[in-house]
Homo-oligomer: A and B are copies of this chain.
């Protein structure tokens, strides 16, 4: 391209960008499902500060990492973690070829719908469930199983696909952050391969930005074609102290913003807070027993106790679902 042509193209591009920015003030509210309260104001103020090149809080675009817990932060986790519902359904689907399960725990408990007996089987029972329902197949086969289950499974209360039960205000927040140069990541205790099949379509988060717990994988040749086999052995648990480890290992940068909802997110928020410069640490507090569920310190699912104390002591943002959110789910708009 010669110099004059470069100049013409450059000028036109600049002119377009200038006109675009001129009228940006007239753009619609990027967080329409958030009530105009302190939570929304604080989020918007943070994003304006870190993206304004003239602000002392400015953060270069490549360092704008925002991490989100998944269960209870981006989608529903009551009355049980979605991945547990998946595991229980898988046991039922596989039961006809395993008649011995009728007499063996933890499978008997699952087939009898006896949640008390299932809980009594403890960590050992849970690991057996994972080994049976999440391992023993290739990564491609597991991907198809997850997609198939999500297409037909329905949430017991809302009678909708689980992927409908994501939080509309958080979807808007993800879009808003990305529009301001943030790279949005999921950092979840859930299985990485349970989230990746649908996270891009539902959250706009591509597979390479989904961090979660992993099983060991074994490379093998099957009919001359390489496959990765899922082994019944946990490689990494991306929860509690595991979250900063997962963040460091997968991203290698410290987030400037982190969102969680339970004690499992405490260390992620501490790790985020310990960086220099402007930071945003936030907890989604489940306060809406009518529209969703109200739970915190006493809950077995998504317990929020120590992290709530620390959030209040340190001035982290606590998002009150009942007060701060106009709607909970996309279908309620």
Contact = CB atoms under 8 A, between A and B. Distances in A.
A249 B217 contact: yes
Contacts of A24: 1
Contacts of A16: 9-10, 12-13, 16
B208 A252 contact: yes
A2 B23 CA distance: 9
Interface in A225-259: 225-226, 228, 235-236, 241-242, 244-245, 248-253
Contacts of A210: 252
B19 A214 contact: no
A253 B199 CA distance: 13
Given A226-B274, A245-B219, A252 B207 contact: yes
Given A226-B271, A244-B219, A274-B225, A253 B207 contact: yes
**Copies of this protein in the complex:** 2
Interface string A1-39: 110010011101101100110011011000000000000
B23 A19 contact: no
Nearest to A200: B62
A256 to B, nearest CB: 14
A27 B244 CA distance: 45
Contact of A23 (B5, B183, B228, B250): B5
Interface residues of A, number: 49
A192 B228 contact: no
A20 B11 CA distance: 12
A270 interface: yes
A134 interface: no
Interface in A190-234: 192-193, 196, 206-208, 210, 214, 217-219, 225-226, 228
A244 B1 CA distance: 42
Contacts of A26: 1-2
B9 A20 contact: yes
A267 interface: yes
B19 A251 contact: no
A139 interface: yes
18 contacts: A1-B20, A5-B19, A9-B19, A12-B12, A62-B206, A183-B208, A207-B251, A208-B250, A208-B253, A214-B249, A217-B245, A219-B241, A219-B271, A226-B244, A226-B270, A226-B274, A235-B236, A250-B250
